[in-house]
A and B are shown apart, each in its own frame.
Chain A
């Protein structure tokens, strides 16, 4: 009994310390500085023309991305996921693939492919109108939003929409579209709302895409404004305005998530976990081929052409030259990696690795210790930490920890762990939840002491989840630009920061080369993680004689 109480207390203390250090301190710092100017100061900061424009831009862009991405992702998921299992892997990879490309890289690749003097202009004389500006930002962010919606709907279909429910509607006289409207979509309400919130938060917090495609056109969002203000901020007043803006981003995100969370809590009892049933086996129809054609076109336009352009740019001697073998060179790689880039690459890898170890470890600790009624709120809190836009979190961390950690790469690591904690926590928590309840009791009755029971029967099933989580955190930390670019100092640049600075200085070929260096390991690790998580998930046999 006493052991239980002690471990409860320890859990509470550890969790409180972690959340305090990683989330509360930065937010409190932001709030303290923002409140420094009083209400008048806050009002002044928010009504400054630049700030107002940035807020409007951010909300408009995020809303547009949410609408387009959720609609497209849902449509694609519904079209693909009711097909026989063997034809699903390819479309899933095609849709989700861009998630493995850093935002900055994809934004830059789009500018090289579809922008002025880009590949399409070379070949056809056409450029994508509005690429530099809101339309381009929305387009590229949608490429990241679509897979989020797609994956959420896919998970929702598997967990909630047993195909038998749709069949019941069909035999009850509902046509295909009526079934979609009256059964499938209502069943997917919660995953759809979750996907919308996730896409909105991600789009609103994005820094790299607006920086690459918006800043050249003078189109600012809250995150780019925070970055610019920080770079230019001269006095304390400017810093106060910056803090107010960062805090406003947090509030915006909470506004998007808060009511949703309440609503979800109300809806949740209706959810019914259904065993995913095997779909009917049929021949590949014209409809299937059309869906696949659409997905191929989408993937080629969204990621294929831009990434090929990036490769061509990296291998071509100078901008504007045709990417033919006569013009091929590796000089871009050499020049890009000269100077501090190599060291920065190593630094990024070490930081990402540290975050990849720390996040699942902390996640497992908190998930394992926190039981009962604290489980839900805790998960929400950890998720909220992720929802805090990187710009705001980074500014808060500067204010909170800058005194001690300024100029140290450690401050970047703190930011990574705070931001990506959720990706360590979630899979481990999910794996824990899947464990049958009697597991440790059975181990205890079989003669294991408490510690041995945890070590022998609880941890092994969590290993796969932990490894997959570590892979994901590594990828995200390795990508990370928003916070790194705010937090780095002389001698602590991360590789992503080096790439962005190279691009700032106009080195197109070198930027492309470095972007490839950044992307290739990321794609490799992502593929590995996908492979691992695929191995741990149970494939549903879909034989013709399904009972």
Chain B
């Protein structure tokens, strides 16, 4: 069994020139964990997901490594966060895309995908080996359903 067997083909994606607001609308509407981001040729650029979106709203130093134990000291005001979002939602999604996101190929063994799910806690894009074009997405739900005996389908992400 390989990743190509369990992937959802032709997944919803955004282009790197699309706005953060457009990507956020899709993420929120479909409760996506991640959306693949592609260039004009359909090649995978990276992922943009709910955590990338939320990370834009807090100081970056607070979400990298373990440099700040907390940011409880900041003024807690939802209108501040809304204003911050309003300011950045017209920016292109390329500004916030996670380019380090792990990717697999259609022939990558399922066991390797399971390992990657355990390590990365996110859905994984499937790309063509030679062209890096996006061909699908696999989620931990697909793997779990298959292993537990249920048929793949009814995907949430």
Instruction: Specify whether A and B are partners.
Output: no
